[in-house]
């Protein structure tokens, strides 16, 4: 099927062709005609499937007819983070260049003045994070009674960040008779409840099972001690096949320290996290996109929805505390049909988190052996690596006195709230002469082979 078969206007098809696209992705193929028919939609799709264009393209044609009014946006798109909101805005600019549509971006971290001015002039498309939208609404700067089309994007991420009450409140301010599109990678009960409450007879579209990972991404785990992480990471990054990579850590402080360490060892690395000013975050992301740096150390503020072409690898420097975060981090590579590699560092304290990830994706992560990764690093930040993290014997419940990570309170600035979890107890050093291998039907993969074709033991069924 071609885009021309989906019912889009000639002007829009011209913009799509100019952007270099001819055939729609599965979710675009299913969503676009239904959106044009003014149906409510629930779209379940893994990251990197093109769902943004799946709602942006038909919205442009729908909004091409109508008149905008001051402070009364005609449509609203809610995004969990500033970066995702900015990316959707870029899509509207790219595909809507042959249409006379006005757009406003309401995000935190920037001055309100220009945003209020844009609202006063009238906008067809309002793209916002919940915190800034609620702020301007409470100040009387915006009316939502003229909004006939609502998009709730990355709904499960909204849930994680504590925004569902805000979304419910926003929905009560919109016209009862409207079109609502809800997109999410997973469908936990609170999201289903939200959909049941605010969507009317929605069409359900699912192009991948909830929380699945891309079959084009070869995924591995590396058992390692906490102090060996940096040295092991640098060894893997020296592989010539690591052309560009995003390196995720659970805490903002770790992101900063890791970027500093990599730069001190001659790597072209940058950083992006919630403590940075919005302008600095945008600048750093632009440096990564245009090739000034090829490594981006990031917190989960960059885990969802960001589309950077050509990311060959994702490294989970810290095992994600929540399985869904793993799916979204890994989804930064292997996009648009390309192949990718994802490696997760696992310490003995991560056994519970690893078990949750493997349960979610429906398979065990094969172990990647890193040659000489027990050798101390030149910066003195590594000790002998341990393989015990992935062993089933390590998967036992922590002491009732152990400190567990938890979600922080709702972040009204639309930042990734789970970046500030308390530190876990330090892992107990494993004796250097004890090296246990993961008990699995899969054999460990040598580091020299990890950039080849996806090993047979991964299998399509294992990651589909």
What is the band of 305 on the pLDDT scale with cuts at 50, 70, 90?
low
Nearest to 348, CA basis, from 396, 299, 382: 396
Question: Any idea which residue has 């892992």 for tokens?
Answer: 427
Q: Which residues contact 430 (CB under 8 A, 6 or more apart)?
A: 225, 348, 384, 386, 388
Tell which wins on pLDDT, 112 or 328. 112
Residue 260 zone, left/alpha/beta (φ > 0; ψ -120 to 50; rest): alpha
> Which of 161-165, 256-260, 297-301, 439-443 is least confident?
439-443
* Share in percent of the chain as helix, strand, coil (round to 5): 40, 15, 50
Q: Does 212 map to a domain?
A: no
CA–CA distance, 178 with 221 (Å, rounded to integer): 46
For residues 228, 231, 236, 239, the Cα torsion angle rounded to the nearest 10 degrees is -160
Q: What is the mean pLDDT of residues 197-221?
A: 82
Give the model confidence (pLDDT) of 269-284 as tens digits: 999 988 888 788 889 9
Residue 173 pLDDT greater than 80, yes or no: yes
Helix (H, G, I), strand (E, B) or coil at 349: helix
Q: What is the mean pLDDT of residues 426-450?
A: 41
Give the model confidence (pLDDT) of 385-413 as tens digits: 333 333 433 333 333 333 334 444 444 44
Query: Tokens standing for 162?
Result: 């504590």
Domain boundary among 187, 206, 225: 206
Nearest to 37, CA basis, from 195, 201, 175: 201
Query: Tokens standing for 152?
Result: 């709730």
On whether both 193 and 227 belong to a single domain, the answer is: no
Residue 72 per-residue DSSP state? B
The reported pLDDT for the residue numbered 447 is: 54
Query: What proportion of the chain, given as a percentage, has pLDDT over 70?
Result: 76
Q: Does 362 map to a domain?
A: yes
On whether both 321 and 371 belong to a single domain, the answer is: yes
On whether both 138 and 240 belong to a single domain, the answer is: no
On whether both 261 and 134 belong to a single domain, the answer is: no
> Which of 223-227, 333-337, 365-369 is least confident?
333-337
Q: Does 358 map to a domain?
A: yes
Per-residue H/E/C for 97-133: CCCCCCEEEECCCCCHHHHHHHHHHCCCEEEECHHHH
Residue 452 pLDDT greater than 50, yes or no: no
State the chain's mean pLDDT as an integer: 80
On whether both 125 and 235 belong to a single domain, the answer is: no
Domain boundary among 206, 226, 257: 206
On whether both 71 and 185 belong to a single domain, the answer is: yes
Pairing type for strands 313-316 and 368-369 reads unpaired
CA–CA distance, 80 with 459 (Å, rounded to integer): 33
Which CATH number fits the domain that encloses residue 247? 3.40.50.300
Angle between helix 51-63 and 82-95 (nearest 10):
50
φ, ψ for residue 109 (rounded to 5)?
A: 85, 0
Q: Does 53 map to a domain?
A: yes
On whether both 199 and 339 belong to a single domain, the answer is: no
Question: Any idea which residue has 């696992």 for tokens?
Answer: 346
Residue 5 zone, left/alpha/beta (φ > 0; ψ -120 to 50; rest): alpha
- Which residues on neighbouring strands pair with residue 344, listed in sequence order? 221, 316
Query: Tokens standing for 178?
Result: 């409207």
What is the band of 195 on the pLDDT scale with cuts at 50, 70, 90?
very high
Nearest to 355, CA basis, from 381, 315, 321: 321
Q: What is the mean pLDDT of residues 239-265?
A: 91
On whether both 327 and 415 belong to a single domain, the answer is: yes
On whether both 229 and 334 belong to a single domain, the answer is: yes
CA–CA distance, 260 with 293 (Å, rounded to integer): 13
Q: Does 401 map to a domain?
A: no
On whether both 101 and 26 belong to a single domain, the answer is: yes
On whether both 173 and 49 belong to a single domain, the answer is: yes
Chain-centre distance of CA 266, in angstroms?
28
Q: Evaluate if pTM is beyond 0.75.
A: no
Domain count, the chain: 2
φ, ψ for residue 124 (rounded to 5)?
A: -85, -35
Nearest to 152, CA basis, from 123, 174, 184: 184
The reported pLDDT for the residue numbered 48 is: 67
Pairing type for strands 75-78 and 217-223 reads unpaired
Pairing type for strands 103-106 and 149-152 reads unpaired
* Chain length of the chain: 464
Give the model confidence (pLDDT) of 124-169 as tens digits: 999 999 999 999 999 999 999 999 999 999 998 898 889 999 999 9
Q: Domain range holding 87?
A: 3-206
On whether both 154 and 259 belong to a single domain, the answer is: no
């Amino acid at each position: 099927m071609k885009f021309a078969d989906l019912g889009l206007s000639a002007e829009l098809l011209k913009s799509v062709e100019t952007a270099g696209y001819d055939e729609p992705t599965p979710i675009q193929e299913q969503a676009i005609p239904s959106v044009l028919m003014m149906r409510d939609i629930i779209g379940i799709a893994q990251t990197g499937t093109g769902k943004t264009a799946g709602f942006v393209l038909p919205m442009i044609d729908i909004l091409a007819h109508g008149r905008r009014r001051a402070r009364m946006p005609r449509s609203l798109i809610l995004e969990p983070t500033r970066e995702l909101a900015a990316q959707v805005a870029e899509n509207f600019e790219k595909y809507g260049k042959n249409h006379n549509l006005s757009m406003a971006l309401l995000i935190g971290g920037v001055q309100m003045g220009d945003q209020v001015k844009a609202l006063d002039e009238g906008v067809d498309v309002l793209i916002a994070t919940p915190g800034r939208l609620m702020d301007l609404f409470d100040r009387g700067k915006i009316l939502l009674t003229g909004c006939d089309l609502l998009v709730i994007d990355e709904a499960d991420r909204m849930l994680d960040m504590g925004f569902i009450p805000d979304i419910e409140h926003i929905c009560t301010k919109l016209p009862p008779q409207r079109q609502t599109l809800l997109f999410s990678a997973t469908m936990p009960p609170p999201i289903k409840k939200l959909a049941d409450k605010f969507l009317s007879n929605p069409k359900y579209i699912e192009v991948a099972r909830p929380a699945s990972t891309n079959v084009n991404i070869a995924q591995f785990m590396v058992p390692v001690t906490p102090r060996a992480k940096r040295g092991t990471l640098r060894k893997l990054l020296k592989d010539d096949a690591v052309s560009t990579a995003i390196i995720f850590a659970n805490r903002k402080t770790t992101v900063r320290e890791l970027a500093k360490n990599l730069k001190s060892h001659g790597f072209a690395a940058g950083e992006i996290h919630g403590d940075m000013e919005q302008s600095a975050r945008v600048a750093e992301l632009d440096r990564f996109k245009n090739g000034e740096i090829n490594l981006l150390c990031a917190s989960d503020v960059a885990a969802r929805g960001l589309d950077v072409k050509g990311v060959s690898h994702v490294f989970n420097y810290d095992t994600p505390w929540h399985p869904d975060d793993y799916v979204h981090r890994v989804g930064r590579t292997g996009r648009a049909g390309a192949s990718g590699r994802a490696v997760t560092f696992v310490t003995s304290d991560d056994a519970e988190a690893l078990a949750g990830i493997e349960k979610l994706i429906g398979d065990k992560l094969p172990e990647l052996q890193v040659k000489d990764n027990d050798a101390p690093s030149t910066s003195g930040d590594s000790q002998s690596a341990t393989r015990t993290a992935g062993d089933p014997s390590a998967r036992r419940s922590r002491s009732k006195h152990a400190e567990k990570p938890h979600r922080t309170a709702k972040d009204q600035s639309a930042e990734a709230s789970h970046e500030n979890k308390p530190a876990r107890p330090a892992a107990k050093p494993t004796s250097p002469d004890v090296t246990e291998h993961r008990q699995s039907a899969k054999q460990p993969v040598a580091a020299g082979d990890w950039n080849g074709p996806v090993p047979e033991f991964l299998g399509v069924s294992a990651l589909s």
